[in-house]
Structures are given as C-alpha cells and as structure tokens.
Amino acid sequence: MKLTRKDFPEDFIFGTATSSYQIEGHAFGGAGRTHWDDYAATPGNVSRAEDGGRACDHYHRYPEDLDLVAAAGFDAYRFSISWARVLPDGRGAVNAEGLDFYDRLTDAMLERGLAPYATLYHWELPSALADLGGWRNGDIGDWFADYTEIVMTRLGDRMATVAPINEPWCVAWLSHFMGLQAPGIRDIRAAARAMHHVLLAHGRATQVMRGLGMGGLGGVFNLEWSNPADDSEASRLAAARYDGIYNRWFMGGVFKGEYPAIVLEGLEPHLPSGWQDDMALISQPLDWCGINYYTRKNIAADPRAPWPSLTDVPGVLPKTYMDWEIYPEGLHDFLIRTAREYTGDLPLYVTENGMAAHDDIMAGECRDPHRIDYYEKHLSEVARAIAGGAPVKGYFAWSLLDNYEWSFGYDKRFGLVHVDFDTLARTPKGSYHAMKAALTEAGR
Ligand code: GCO
C-alpha cells in the first residue's frame, strides 16, 4: 500500500471492525436464542444452512484476536454486544457470564492500547422478542432502552464511542421488505414499522446513555450510492426513491428530525399512528456519525411493480465476490454530502469498508492483492474527502477476521486475517501485513 498514516491528520483513528454473532460463537457462554438461529434453521435462507453457533470462537480466542489488532498498529477496535448474550430472553434475567465476557473483552482492549468502539445491536435479536413482533412492535424502544441501561451501567465508563444500532436499513428494509435477512419478512407494513421503530430504539438508547452521563454517542449508517441506470426521467426518479429509502430516510430522521417526502409517499400509510411525536427523540444531538460503505447500485424504473417501482440492474464496474461493484468515488461523495447536507462539523467515521474474496491459503500464505487495492483506493477517497473539507476522523476496515457473512454463511471472506473454519487457525493475509506496514514503523 502506498498510503500510510502520514497521509492522514495526526489524530486520525485507524481501526478494524467485527460483530458479535459473526465471530463469537453464540452457542457458548449461556447466550439466548436469536432470530438469526431461527432464520438459519429454515431451509433456503442461508447457504448450507450455516449459523453462528461456533463461528470463529472469538468467545474463547479473543486474547489472540486482540493481539492481532494491536500488532497491526490499529488505534481502535469496533465490536458489538449481543443482546441475547446479555439478556437471553431479551428482557428480565441477565446472563452474568455474558456481561462478564464483555467486561473482560473491554479490559483486554484497553490493556493493548485499543480504544473500544461499541455497537449495541448488530442484528441478533433475541428470539423471545421476535415472538412478540420484534422490530414491528413499538415496545421495542423500551426493551432496547432497558438492555442499553444494563450494558452501559457496567461498561459505559470505558467506551470511547457507542452506536446503538448498526445499519438501520438492514435491520428494517433488507429484513422486513426484501426478506433477505432475519426475520425474513416481505411485507410493506412490517417494513414501514421497522423503519420507524429502529430509529425510535436508537433515540431511546441514546437518551438512556446521556442519562448515564456518557459522551461519544453516535449512529452507524450503511450508505449505498444510487446511480440511475439510464438517462430516462423515470430511472432518475427511481434512483431518487432508492436513495431515499436506503440513505436519506435514516440521515433525515436522525439529523433533521424529518423523513424524506419521496419515501413518505409510499410508507406513510403504513407507519404507526403518532409517529411524528417520536421525531424529536429520534433527532436528539449526537457526537459523531459513522458511515459503512461498500458499493453502489444501478437503479432503473419498473413501472409494472408496486411502489417503490424500481429494480437494480447489473453494472459494468469490476465486482467483489459479493457481486458488488467496486466504486470508491462513492465513499468520497457520501462523506462530502453527509457533512454538507446533514451533519456539518460533526466528526465523521468510516465505520466499515472492505471486500469479500475467495481467499485460499497456499504454502502457508494467504495473498490478497485485490483487497490491498480495494483498501488503497477507498483510503485515497477518504483522504480526498478530508482535503475537500469533510471532517473525517477515522477509518475502520471490515473485517478483522473471515466470519459469518449472514445469509451467505462462511464462504464470503472479508477478513484481514484468514480463518480456517475446521481448525479455527488464524493466518494474517497479505492485506493485514500491508495495513501493518502502513500503520507502523515496525511493519515496514
Ligand atoms: C455490515 C454488516 C456486516 C457485513 C458486512 C459485509 O455492517 O454491513 O454489518 O455485518 O458482514 O457489511 O456485508
């Protein structure tokens, strides 16, 4: 990698990110069942019906994993806390072993000089709450607030930053309209409710943490560039609807207290009554904004389909193993647009960015020049956004380890570190060594 730390401001934070269900091994330590266990147990949802029962066994191997993070020269580690590990039924009895685990994990980060960047929900809803309607039930704001209070009463004094919810679009739209993640629902009314309740829960958790006297509170949004697939006015409008649903709904709700009209057009009839009364809570001030960025979509109008009457068509750019187009400019454009239109001077972090590949070990080594190139191109766009005035304060590579890529199972490898899912051996890839060289003198 040609870029190094020196190409970024002195206080710029480099980190790497993971999430609980994707790496910990949810069968260990008394965690409760989650809707991902149920989704994976239903034929046809997940490749090879794989689940997160063992995953990378980070639950037992976290010291070794954090050693790898520290040795690469990262400043911070973005991790998540599993609701069902702390509260197996989502409410009521606490699993002391679960809270103890996150306590040990936090201290292990601090001992290695890594700043803990926590997320409270990265998709593993306790099944007992899914039984009550999960994200469709407006009570989830209070359930999530209670869980937040339990976790942060214990850990809050040691967190550098906290985001309540990872990628609200995935929690709501991908999972309740497209049906491609747990709970796998395809229903516009369920989707509309989830779209609102996920932000209500964000607001309630933020309120609770402020009440505990905490700072460093933000939100993490996955943004996807919406590119009209052709020059027609119909496709331009379809792309604007896609941008509205994917990006502007959440940015507008959280940073302006309003939802975009182009989305309300389709969703308002299905929102819970009195939704307007929640907007002040949803848009209370934050300390930073996180952007997860991977790709763009090419959107065309599909006038025969009901609202939002659009479809995505394959693009011409080189693609990752997820079949996602590689479009680094989108990261620059989102950083600039977010600061200009939504967040002003608020610190921005790239909280996830990375690519999947089919990485093999050969002669004891895992070479992934494609991934080094991906990181280099995206980091260049971050540097360009900073030069253009966007207040970007940090960048987190997704992901530390090959892990459970949700409905794709263990086949899509995103890690800087290769994981052999039979032996669980960790092998740092070429991209890990390149990062280390960019971040430390020792790695050069
Ligand atoms: C995300 C997801 C991660 C995925 C990654 C690659 O936050 O987008 O949270 O869990 O693994 O995005 O798809």
At 26, the pLDDT band (50, 70, 90 cuts) reads very high
Over residues 416-433, mean pLDDT? 98
Reported as half-sphere exposure (CB side, CA atoms, 13 A), residue 260 has a value of 17
Structure tokens, 366: 């895992």
Q: Which residues, at least 6 apart from 231, have a Cβ–Cβ distance to it below 8 Å?
A: none
pLDDT of residue 443: 82
Amino acid occupying residue 232: S
**Phi, psi for residue 261 in degrees, rounded to 5:** -60, -35
Structure tokens, 137: 């039930």
From the CA of 398, give the closest atom in ligand 1. 5
pLDDT of residue 441: 86
**Phi, psi for residue 35 in degrees, rounded to 5:** -65, -15
pLDDT of residue 290: 99
Across the chain, mean pLDDT equals: 98
Which residue has the CA at smallest separation from atom 13 of ligand 1?
Answer: 405
Residues 431-443 as b/e (b if ≥16 CB within 10 A, e otherwise) read bbbbbbbbbeeeb
pLDDT of residue 190: 98
Rounded to whole angstroms, the Cα distance separating 98 from 82 reads 9
Q: Does pLDDT of 274 surpass 90?
A: yes
**Domains in the chain with CATH codes:** 5-443 (3.20.20.80)
From the CA of 167, give the closest atom in ligand 1. 7
Q: Which residues line ligand 1 (CB under 6 A)?
A: 19, 22, 122, 166-167, 222, 292, 352, 398, 405, 414
Written as one string, the DSSP assignment of 243-284 is HIIIIIHHHHHHHHS---HHHHHHHGGGSPTTGGGGHHHHT-
Over residues 120-138, mean pLDDT? 98
Distance from the alpha carbon of residue 440 to the mean position of ligand 1, in angstroms = 27
Structure tokens, 280: 């002040």
Nearest Cα to Cα of residue 58 among 102, 20, 99: 20
Rounded to whole angstroms, the Cα distance separating 201 from 264 reads 20
Rounded to whole angstroms, the Cα distance separating 293 from 19 reads 16
Distance from the alpha carbon of residue 222 to the mean position of ligand 1, in angstroms = 9
Its sign, for the CA torsion 244, 246, 249, 253, is negative
Percentage of the chain modeled with pLDDT above 90: 99
Over residues 249-277, mean pLDDT? 98
- Catalytic residue, chosen from 124, 167, 224, 381, is 167
Over residues 401-417, mean pLDDT? 98
The pTM of the full predicted model, rounded to 2 decimals, is 0.98
Q: Which residues, at least 6 apart from 352, have a Cβ–Cβ distance to it below 8 Å?
A: 17, 78, 220, 222, 292, 293, 294, 396, 398, 399
- Catalytic residue, chosen from 224, 325, 352, 405, is 352
Is the separation of the CB atoms in 109 and 116 below 8 Å? yes
Q: Which among 18, 223, 292 is the best mutation to test ligand 1's pocket, defined by most ligand atoms within 8 Å of the CB?
A: 292
Helices H / strands E in the chain, number of each: 17, 11
pLDDT of residue 413: 98
**Phi, psi for residue 165 in degrees, rounded to 5:** -130, 130
Over residues 275-283, mean pLDDT? 98
24 among known catalytic residues: no
What angle, 0 to 180 degrees and rounded to 10, lies between the N-to-C axes of helices 430-439 and 369-387?
30
Q: Which among 406, 410, 416 is the best mutation to test ligand 1's pocket, defined by most ligand atoms within 8 Å of the CB?
A: 406
Q: Per residue in 41-67, pLDDT tens?
A: 999 999 999 999 999 999 999 999 999
Over residues 304-330, mean pLDDT? 97
Over residues 158-178, mean pLDDT? 98
Nearest Cα to Cα of residue 172 among 70, 267, 62, 65: 267
Q: Per residue in 198-243, pLDDT tens?
A: 999 999 999 999 999 999 999 999 999 999 999 999 999 999 999 9
Percentage of the chain modeled with pLDDT above 70: 100
pLDDT of residue 442: 82
